[in-house]
Structure 1
Amino acid sequence: MKKVKHNLIFKTVLTAIFSCLLFSCAIAQEPPTAFKDLDYYFSVARKNKNQNNIKSALEAIQKAADYAEKKEDEKGLIDCFHKYAFLYLELNNVPRSKFYWDRTRVLLKNIAYPYGSSESKYLEAIYLYLDKNNFQAEEKLSEAKQLSNDRNLLNRIVLTQANINFQKTNFLKASRFYNALVVNSDIYEKDYFTTQGYLGLAKINSFDNPEDCIKFGLEALPIAKKNGFINEMLEINTLVGKAYEDIKDYNTALIFNKNLIHLKDSLYGITASKASERTANDIHIEGLEQDVKTLLDKNLEQEASINRSESTNIVAFAILAIISLLAISLYRNNQIKIKTNNLLQKTNKELEIAKDEAVKAMEAKTNFLSTVSHELRTPLYAVTGLTNLLLEENPTENQKEHLKSLKFSGDYLLNFINDILQVNKIDAQKLETLQIEFSLRKTIKDVIDSLQQSAKSNNTKLNLVIDKKISRAHLGDPIKISQILINLIGNAIKFTKNGEVTVTINELKKVEDICTIYFEVKDTGIGISNELQENIFDSFEQGSIQINREYGGTGLGLTIVKNLLNLFGSTIHLESTKGVGSIFSFEIELVCKDKGASNTEDEYIPQEFIFEGLKLLIVEDNKINQVITKKMLSKKGMASDIANNGTEAIELAQNNTYDAILMDIHMPGISGVEATIEIRKFDSEIPIIALTAISLDDSVENFYAAGCDDIVTKPFKPDYFYQKIGENIFNKKIT
């Protein structure tokens, strides 16, 4: 009789489990929308979490979870579980945080909820960051950003990116993220993110710049006090107190240390921490008890049903026997799966370690090449700048010949450095295509004009055949299209002497406003044999050592072309016969903008400017570069002052009137980007031109976002340099 009773109970438990699964599936089919009342509980929890009142935050989320269950709001329940996970992280209880994260992952399998999926990826990134798997954490953050555009979540992601780069000691990148938080526009936690931004900048400067550490700390402290951010107040007082000690201001340091003791005694006692831990445990146990109670209730219902029907018992025995056999089979299969999974997890872990090592090696190579390329540009600026100045000072014929050779060598070295940096950026996935309005005809004509001199030196005729149907204006990336054409046409000219190079541009088709443009570069040069065509697009590959010695070059041009076309979703095609010539062709889709286009050829004509009487501020830490830039300005009748660093630049810009500022980006202390941000706070009109030996980590978008009006890359051609100064001073005054 006891055995029968045990069997009945076992059977009812299984039935209850199956019922629960069916109920969960039924809920997943029709996910209800979120209810406004949940926002209230989430707001309460958010405020208490930021004030380190984890107990009240947990209680608010418990009420939100009860409400979501009552309303059968599955998305709301996912949000509650995520917030449980975040709060347990605040208590340093990672296993319990992952317990709730796992529950959301199960629920998300049955429901389409992009925001919930994004938060799940974000949580996974935090776990990886805590385990110091920084590369994998950044990958998950990138995936999270693609799933949702919620401003609060994006700000939390930015904060985590800043902390990851701080952990990696990449302080330059970390400071950019912290600066972004300082000026955030979050509707829920604006003050919290602003405090975190200033606090992060204070931490970065705490290592070697105590004055700036104090400055940022004192910016953060009143915001933290106003909002009751206890943890941040503790950290700020600690950092600022230590910074005052570093500058030997011990009286002020003592004040902050006393504040620290007072905060610890009155606001951050052990009792409050234990109360939060107890509340967390109570809520966790209550959740588990609720799950058990649900199963027991269903068991009682099934047991009552069995007692009411003898015939049901007989059927139950039969089902139980079948289930028992299935259970044994499932158990054995499960054991096999466990062993297999353990083996797979071990293998995956080894693969992840190997991947991390490979990524670190790639990052080291990339950073090395980037650093070398950037560092070479600075002395190269001196070489090319001084050469141009000497050529303008009426040298003798012998001196002119030597200077022209020096200029040629400098230009050759600059092209080589540019190619290395371009390939390095492509390898590091730092390039993206722009979407701006431009004239394709003008872009192509500019490229052809710039290469005519090279064609004449090889006694080669350079032809352009362009389809009349091609629109006057397009939407796309003219810079990268120019780079592709310059490399292809430049290569064709280099390998074609006493011959002909023909560039053909046709519009193949037009569907609504999308045009498919065909580009072809045909030459009558040395050609490429079939066996060498397979590797011709590899880095540093020119076909043979003999070709490299005879014609020179880096062997990177076609690699750059291939990778730039990948950004457009296009491929390069090659037809070539040795001794006859080669044809390189590709297609690109562009947006046509006929309505806003001009009916005449859009031709670039350099403007003539009168520079006499202008006064500029040169911000440059390199002494040689200061001399060269100052002399170049004085040749056009312009006066100038020199700032040796960003701090001097801010002071001079405040106390003097200048027509423009030439801002170096990479300087000791505060960078050119940070100096520009500070200047824009009190002067929004003055033209600021970034002069930079641009590196891999540099982002042109960051320069413009900081307030730069234009960018000139060092080394630069004098005519281009003067043109940019004139455009930004005189054209800006006209507008």
Structure 2
Amino acid sequence: MASRPRTKRTAPPPKRRSPKKRASSATAAKARVAKRAVAMAAPGMVEAALAAFAHEVRTPLTGILAISDLLATSDLDERERRWVDTIKAGAEHLASLATLFVDAAKSGHAAFGVRQDLFDLRALARNAGDSLAGRAAAKGLQWRVELSDKLPALVVGDPVRLRAALENLIDNAVKFTETGEVALSVEPMRVAKGKVGIAFAVSDSGIGLALAEIRRLFRPFSQANVSIASRFGGAGLGLSSVKQIARAMGGDIVVAPRRGGGTTFTLTVILTRAKASAAESRDTDGITAGEVRGLRILGVEDNPFGRVVLNTILTELGHSAEFIGRGEAATERIAESAFDAVLMDMVLPGIDGIEAIRRIRSLDSPHGRIAIIGVSGRGDDEAASRAAGADAFLVKPVSPRALATALLEATRRAAAAT
């Protein structure tokens, strides 16, 4: 049987896209590239924005802390002194929270690992009690604070997040109580050797919670019921964060109905008992302003409020100051006049504080060996500041004691180098 002749098949010619379609495809490709570029740049933009936020927030907080420190040296009665201590503790807590925001941006996510800092547990408990008392009094509520005499003083843990968790519980207790009482009790718990277990119980005589409402309470963006959200406000995120903090610190949070009406939230954490050597290394009570003679200081600070605060502290310490707002003007001003030390802010218009320090150090002696103190809202800037030539470093908010200590360190180092 004869085979049938094969016909040669050829591929159809490629379809040509119209110029309009080619342009549309190119535009879409450019859009995808731009979108990827924005996504890659976003983390850096967030970090920069939060760093700027932290810097701006710390400026007024520095003033609040400085003035509260100065008020504490005035002739105050016991009640007024407690008010000053409460203001100071609140400002310190806000400054620490600003640092946490920056840390979260740098890590690229909201998750966190708890810090291991030495802190005074009794002072933290007293400050939380003062916060509860102040909020309750402002709303016309009765209040009660019971702190165990067996609480250790110095411990190691995360005081910033612990204070944040307590402030959340205190805020809720006052917010959800129209009449009656709010209370805080702090007691030690028995835990493993070398550790410190602490139970913070915050109770109120407020609206109370049903069992079904308690089960929903610690979910993110969830509140006990719709009527509570509409009546009292809030996103419902706070208690979820408190539980996360508690578990990260080896504890937990539980809620129970309070006898006679209301609710009790008990937050537990596990801390490390501080060693005596660690406490001694942090003791700076022996440093006083009198150890440094009256100095003439050049302050490089662009914020007018920050200048007023620093000038107030320096005047109280017995020093005189002149301020300029740009880093590039520092070298010229130092060469023109006789200053004993420079307070150099890290965030400035024009060149930053790091570059300004480098330029000062490039001057001929004795101007190039002037004592320099770096000042920043970020502790991470210390290494770069010292590498550029700073003799000492201060983290905002600046206290009178910290400034006196830094001046002592800087002038001693500068004198030893000449």
TMscore range, shorter length: 0.5 to 0.7
Partner Cα distance (1:456, 1:501) in 2: 10
Q: Specify which structure has the higher proportion of helix.
A: 1
CA distances 1:261-305 after superposition (whole Å, capped 9, x unpaired): xxxxxxxxxxxxxxxxxxxxxxxxxxxxxxxxxxxxxxxxxxxxx
| Aligned residue among 371, 374, 382 for 1:703 | 382
Change (3 A) 1:575 1:649: farther
Instruction: Tell me how far 1:552 sits from its aligned partner.
Output: 5.8
SS in 1 for 2:396: strand
Structure 1 unmatched runs, 5+:
1-356, 390-407, 599-603, 693-698, 714-719
| Aligned residue among 580, 597, 614 for 2:261 | 580
- Give the corresponding residue for 1:463: 144
Partner Cα distance (2:140, 2:158) in 1: 32
Partner Cα distance (2:222, 2:40) in 1: 20
- Give the corresponding residue for 2:176: 495
SS in 1 for 2:246: helix
Identity %: 24
- Give the corresponding residue for 1:141: none
- Give the corresponding residue for 1:371: 49
TM-score by length of 1: 0.36
The answer as to whether partners of 1:416 and 1:554 remain within 8 angstroms in 2 is no
The answer as to whether partners of 1:471 and 1:594 remain within 8 angstroms in 2 is no
- Give the corresponding residue for 1:618: 299
Instruction: Tell me how far 1:466 sits from its aligned partner.
Output: 3.4
- Give the corresponding residue for 1:120: none
SS in 1 for 2:129: helix
The answer to whether structure 1 residue 513 and structure 2 residue 194 are counterparts is yes
Partner Cα distance (1:419, 1:625) in 2: 19
SS in 2 for 1:520: strand
Change (3 A) 1:370 1:493: farther
The answer to whether structure 1 residue 561 and structure 2 residue 270 are counterparts is no
TM-score by length of 2: 0.58
Instruction: Tell me how far 1:415 sits from its aligned partner.
Output: 6.8
- Give the corresponding residue for 1:333: none
- Give the corresponding residue for 1:245: none
Partner Cα distance (2:295, 2:231) in 1: 48
The answer to whether structure 1 residue 712 and structure 2 residue 396 are counterparts is yes
The answer to whether structure 1 residue 446 and structure 2 residue 124 are counterparts is no
- Give the corresponding residue for 2:104: 425
Q: How does 1:571-720 map to 2 (within 5 A)?
A: 571-576=252-257, 580-593=261-274, 615-622=296-303, 624-625=304-305, 628-629=308-309, 632=312, 639-649=320-330, 652=333, 656-658=338-340, 661=343, 663-672=344-353, 675=356, 686-690=372-376, 692=377, 700-703=379-382, 706-707=385-386, 709-713=393-397
AA paired with 1:590? L
- Give the corresponding residue for 2:154: 473
Partner Cα distance (2:289, 2:211) in 1: 53
SS in 1 for 2:125: helix
Instruction: Tell me how far 1:380 sits from its aligned partner.
Output: 9.8
Of structures 1 and 2, the one scoring higher in RCO (CA 8 A, sep 6+) is: 2
Instruction: Tell me how far 1:592 sits from its aligned partner.
Output: 1.7
Instruction: Tell me how far 1:672 sits from its aligned partner.
Output: 3.4
Instruction: Tell me how far 1:457 sits from its aligned partner.
Output: 1.0
Partner Cα distance (1:653, 1:544) in 2: 64
CA distances 1:672-693 after superposition (whole Å, capped 9, x unpaired): 3555677789669654442x3x
| Aligned residue among 403, 410, 416 for 1:725 | 403
Partner Cα distance (1:438, 1:428) in 2: 26
Instruction: Tell me how far 1:726 sits from its aligned partner.
Output: 4.6
Partner Cα distance (1:633, 1:467) in 2: 36
CA distances 1:538-565 after superposition (whole Å, capped 9, x unpaired): 5666556765676566755434433433
Instruction: Tell me how far 1:513 sits from its aligned partner.
Output: 1.4
Change (3 A) 1:491 1:434: same
Instruction: Tell me how far 1:441 sits from its aligned partner.
Output: 1.6
The answer as to whether partners of 2:297 and 2:342 remain within 8 angstroms in 1 is yes
Change (3 A) 1:429 1:548: closer
Partner Cα distance (2:288, 2:132) in 1: 23
Q: How does 1:345-424 map to 2 (within 5 A)?
A: 364=42, 367-368=45-46, 371=49, 374-375=52-53, 378=56, 422=101
Change (3 A) 1:543 1:642: farther
Q: Specify which structure has the higher proportion of strand.
A: 2
| RMSD after superposition | 5.5
Query: Comparing 642-651 with 438-447, which one deviates more in the overlay?
Result: 642-651
AA paired with 2:379? V
- Give the corresponding residue for 1:225: none
Larger radius of gyration: 1
CA distances 1:327-349 after superposition (whole Å, capped 9, x unpaired): xxxxxxxxxxxxxxxxxxxxxxx
Q: How does 1:68-217 map to 2 (within 5 A)?
A: none
Change (3 A) 1:506 1:423: farther
SS in 1 for 2:114: coil
SS in 2 for 1:700: coil
Instruction: Tell me how far 1:650 sits from its aligned partner.
Output: 5.8
SS in 2 for 1:491: helix
SS in 1 for 2:252: coil
Change (3 A) 1:725 1:490: farther
CA distances 1:14-58 after superposition (whole Å, capped 9, x unpaired): xxxxxxxxxxxxxxxxxxxxxxxxxxxxxxxxxxxxxxxxxxxxx
Partner Cα distance (2:237, 2:306) in 1: 33
Structure 2 unmatched runs, 5+:
1-34, 68-86, 363-367, 387-391, 414-418
Change (3 A) 1:459 1:608: farther
Residue-pair matches, total = 338
